[in-house]
Structure 1
Amino acid sequence: MAQPSATRDSQRAITLSVMVAALGYFVDIYDLLLFSIVRVPSLRSLGIEGDELLRAGERLLNMQMTGMLLGGLLWGVLGDRKGRLSVLFGSIFMYSAANIANAWVQSVEAYAWLRFIAGIGLAGELGAGITLVSEIMPKETRGYGTTIVAATGILGAVFAALVGDMFDWRVSYIVGGVMGFALLALRIGVYESGMFEAVKQIGSSRGNVLQLFNRWDRARKYFAVILIGVPIWYVIGILITFSPELGKALGMTEVPAAGRAVMFAYLGLAGGDFASGFFSQFIGSRRRVVLLFQLLTTVFVATYFFLAPFTLTGFYALCVALGFSVGYWAVFVTVASEQFGTNIRATATTTVPNVVRGSVVLLTSSVAWLRPQVGVVRSAIIVGMVALAISYVALWGLEETFGKDLDYVEE
């Protein structure tokens, strides 16, 4: 009679871990995308107007994403050395505190540094959650768990858009911080990964970043996973975040609101995450699903530029389609967790999505560098073509990881 009870306890522990990871990512995405939603009204309230809105917005976005690059490394190493749960607690505390403080800024300089600190905190949530869920679920079904985490979390952007529309931008930041602190109470009942505990007991080297690069096969896999994800943040960081400027340049008579564009894109992205994750489980392949969604992304990016100008309704419908097409994010983060051994899995799974998010710095800088020479629209087209082309090549060199046994270490 003890065995069924133990099984039920194990199932409850898995369910709680998936739920907490999903809600944590929900709050993470809320805070991550809130700046894109309140960028214009928040900067205007600080006295920024005209062309300076775009330049100040690019600077703050780059500060946030730079923080995420550094935070990805910090939390990834801590996740492998101290445990997955330590990151889930520490990261959410940092970005929740930073977002509450963000509600009281009176200058762009203070705004920028708080986005940097928040970026560091935001970097830990997804990687630690996906690593934990990947390690506690059976290998045949772990894709369902990671899909639920990614797709549920994405809806945080939709909630951010609704809150941003209903309340002042300062209140919106406070809401995010309060949600984060409330979530800490739920985490008390979550257990550490058994795989991590086993590796900790045998004394293997853990969280050594150099292990990602000291062998060509590991370095190649690491960079390939990053590159297949860059088009996702090209769409979100360029086409959606700067949709008011691009919409105007494309000749739209009624310019889209960034907050609405983000909301519709993330509705599509949540649907795409569920579709890609469950389809991957159905056909037993990660690579084929990523390829399918890369093709969809290419089609809808081309539509964005070459079938404009749109009506406002048509543009928001395209935002949903673009979001759906980059909804292979769920499969992408699962692939990242499946590529490496337990002793560097959190390092890889946490740094990979944050390097992809941080690629927005390179993407926006490239667009800004090209803009005086070829204009807003053509600069965005060129950067998008390069990002997509590289992602196809990167996918070609990745191994299939569906059903892979993750209980091993990297020597």
Structure 2
Amino acid sequence: MREFTFSEKATHLFSFPVIVAALGYFVDIYDLLLFGIVRVPSLKSMHLDADAVGTTIINYQMSGLLLGGILWGIIGDKKGRLSVLFGSILVYSLANIACGFLPQINVGDKASIYALLRFIAGLGLAGELGAGITLVSESLPKELRAIGTSIVAGFGLLGAVVAQLTVELAGNWTIAYFIGGGLGLLLLLLRVGVFESGLYKDIAKTSVAKGDFLSFFTNAKRLKKYLRCIAIGLPTWFCVGILAMMANQFAPEMGIRNLQPGKAIMWAYIGISVGDFASGMISHLLRSRKKAILYMMLFTLIGVSLMLGGATRTESGYYFFCAWLGLGTGYWAMFVTVAAEQFGTNIRSTATTTVPNMVRGLVPVMLIGFNYFKPSMGVIFSAAAVGIIVFALGIYATVSIEETHNRDLDFTE
């Protein structure tokens, strides 16, 4: 394995593609989590049910992510990584600006319009992470790949913290939407100077099939790898989509007077950001993607068990555990990097973009299970039931997937 000098490491890790990908993911996370943060105040201001309508809108946004992941993934392999970086950010930035105008839209069914706009935002948001991680993975030396992608995700995930602070400081949820959309449009201008991946350029003019999404389902070995990649990420969005976004539903069961989903999301993402920076270094030191992910997943499982097992009875205690779960699920960048490393250049963007969005797209399924168990089991035990299934799948997938540390990415399927 090649040893790099400090100067060489800095040159690679703070190159323009890494910086632009990190800023892009920052805006992506800001806009992705913004609805979860302003869900209650925005819906109440329009006289809508924060829980019932809010769950429907989250499901629409996550469905948009699921479909968008497939769309942008295919475009990334057929037309190039940069086409996704430009197109996706334009779509979700305009959708977020439109959300800010909702109070001024004079129609009766604002819930449907809100859901449609979050669906469109989800379509756009789906392309950002996969394209960014693919571009960075293909641009950096294999020895620095884990650290580079962890920098992208670690910095990017701070977007959730800034989103919460923006809502608090602005005092109006519509301003937070305008700021998010404006940041995206500004970043669009910065991306003009980014160059296409060299590996993609090498295969762009060849006859090899590119962006074939169905190829994941026509080969048994490839399908197993694909499903394992998805399963590894499930615990991350169980923690965010249920334990953080639905924090207000746990308050009465835990004897806590009030829990704010926005603050729960903020503390979770502070933890996730730190965890993502750490995951790259852990993987680098252990020389293993699998070990880094497994240890962090088990750390998260301990936190979930304590949280739902009665270890917290205060608002600050709940936020502490949200930060704990965030720290543990900070393997998000590593999980997406593993997806990029599992597949050839001709379907790498499709894999890297669809896998995280399949995970996000399964949040509605988790919420269906959560809501199904609630009437008979209560909020805490229904969350535990969903959690058991999710972590069992995640641990099995992590243990059984191929190790990809230091794998050369110059290959096709």
How big is the shift at 1:393?
Answer: 1.3
Structure-to-structure mapping, 1:12-411, within 5 angstroms: 15-48=15-48, 52-106=49-103, 107-167=110-170, 168-252=172-256, 254-410=257-413
Q: Secondary structure at the match of 2:345?
A: coil
Shift, 1:14, TM fit: 7.0
Which SS does the other structure have where 1:344 is aligned? helix
SS at match of 1:141: helix
Q: Which amino acid aligns with 1:132?
A: L
Q: Which residue type is aligned with residue 56 of structure 1?
A: V
For 2:312 and 2:202, the matched residues in 1 are separated by: 57
1:4 match: none
AA of the residue aligned to 2:166: V
Deviation above 3 Å: which 4+ runs of structure 1?
10-14
Q: Is the 8 A contact 1:13 1:190 kept in 2?
A: no
For residues 212 and 224 of structure 2, the distance between their equivalents in structure 1, rounded to whole angstroms, comes to 17
8 Å CA contact 1:13, 1:191 repeated in 2: no
Distance 1:248 1:234 in 2: 20
Kindly provide the amino acid, as one letter, of the partner of residue 200 in structure 1. Answer: A
**In the aligned structure 2, how far is the partner of 1:387 from the partner of 1:319?**
17
Instruction: Report if aligned partners of 1:336, 1:352 keep a CA contact under 8 Å in 2.
Output: yes
Task: Please state how far the C-alpha of 1:201 moved relative to its aligned partner.
Answer: 2.1
Task: List gaps (5 residues or longer) in structure 2.
Answer: 1-6, 104-109
**Partner residue of 2:4?**
none
Report the more deviating stretch, 372-381 or 384-393.
372-381
Could you list the runs of 5+ residues in structure 1 that have no partner in the other structure? 1-6
How many residues align? The count is 399
Q: How far apart, CA to CA, are the structure 2 residues paired with 1:81 and 1:262?
A: 35
Q: Distance in 1 between matches of 2:339 and 2:372?
A: 31
Contact 1:264 1:320 in 2 (8 A): yes
Q: CA deviation at 1:164?
A: 1.2
CA distance in 2, matches of 1:33, 1:88: 19
> Matches of 1:194 and 1:119 in 2, distance apart?
29
Give the alignment's Cα RMSD to 1 decimal: 1.5
| Deviation at residue 119 of structure 1 after TM alignment | 0.2
In the TM superposition, what whole-angstrom CA distance separates every residue of 1:310-338 from its partner, at most 9, and x where no partner exists?
22222221111111011111111110110
What CA distance in whole angstroms lies between the structure 2 residues aligned with 1:103 and 1:123? Answer: 20
For 2:410 and 2:247, the matched residues in 1 are separated by 44
Displacement after TM superposition at 1:374 (Å): 1.6
What's the secondary structure of 2:113's corresponding residue?
Answer: helix
For residue 396 of structure 1, report the CA deviation from its aligned partner. 2.1
Q: Which amino acid aligns with 1:61?
A: I
Kept in 2, the 8 Å contact 1:251–1:309? The answer is no
Identity percentage over the alignment? 49
Distance across 1 between alignment mates of 2:210 and 2:84: 15
Contact 1:164-1:259 within 8 A present in 2 as well = no
Partner Cα distance (1:202, 1:69) in 2: 29
Task: Answer yes or no: is the 8 Å Cα contact 2:268–2:327 preserved in 1.
Answer: yes
